[in-house]
Amino acid sequence: EAAVTQSPRNKVAVTGGKVTLSCNQTNNHNNMYWYRQDTGHGLRLIHYSYGAGSTEKGDIPDGYKASRPSQENFSLILELATPSQTSVYFCASGDVANTEVFFGKGTRLTVV
Amino acid sequence: SQLAEENPWALSVHEGESVTVNCSYKTSITALQWYRQKSGEGPAQLILIRSNEREKRNGRLRATLDTSSQSSSLSITATRCEDTAVYFCATPYGGSGNKLIFGTGTLLSVKP
């Protein structure tokens, strides 16, 4: 069964702290994505990856880094968290042509 | 500006009625995807329609694509309360189509 697992599901972080959001997929998909979702903005693409070792900037990459150490894992890193990064973050995986795309259940991040 | 945009922003219907959500996009595409996101969940892919297709069906769902006007629609017949969700269209973007860009979504409420 196709699966994208995000951890943690909920996180409270302090301003200026480092936050790492993790994503694991068992779909053997090449593409992986990190989005954030805020009311009125829909899903906005932060970073994405074509495969292990690759990361690409999405539409709103400032303040975020990404890491794809393996086919299965894709992390989003906030080196210096700010309250403006309070949001719900979704990870997704897709096959080469994105004909098949699966999302995780989301991580709710609150930066105080 | 958004590469893809759904309209209207929100819809409300009663169970059993039919409803249509529209999407306009701003770039040439090889395919367009429709997603559904229920409250508290990640988006789920509903239909993928390729640029050489005019219509695609999946049960009670019907998607159309008009590349000349750069628009698509998603119709749902015999709506049920469980169809209540936000509906997004998404377009692969970038040279290899790996960048998946979403619109801001249409909130559909189906009432008993």
* Token code pair at residue B47: 């239909």
- Domain range annotation of chain A: 4-111
Q: How far apart are CA A79 and CA A30, in angstroms?
A: 26
Q: Is the pLDDT of residue A81 over 80?
A: yes
Beta-carbon separation of B45 and A102 below 8 A: yes
**How does the average pLDDT of chain B come out, rounded?**
91
For B15-62, the pLDDT digits (tens) are 999 999 999 998 888 889 999 999 999 999 999 999 999 999 999 999
Please name which of B37, B39, B43 lies closest in space to residue B86, comparing C-alpha atoms: B37
Q: In this predicted model, what pLDDT tens digit does every residue of A18-66 receive, in sequence order?
A: 999 999 999 999 999 999 999 878 899 999 999 999 999 999 999 999 9
Residue type, A12: V
Q: What angle do CA B44, B46, B49 make, to 5 degrees?
A: 135
What CATH class does B1-22+42-91+105-112 carry? mainly beta
Q: Which CATH superfamily does the domain covering A4-111 fall into? A: Immunoglobulins (2.60.40.10)
% residues pLDDT > 90 (chain B):
74
Comparing CB atoms, the residue among A48, A90, A100 nearest residue B42 is A90
- Distance, in angstroms, between B48 CA and closest chain A CA? 7
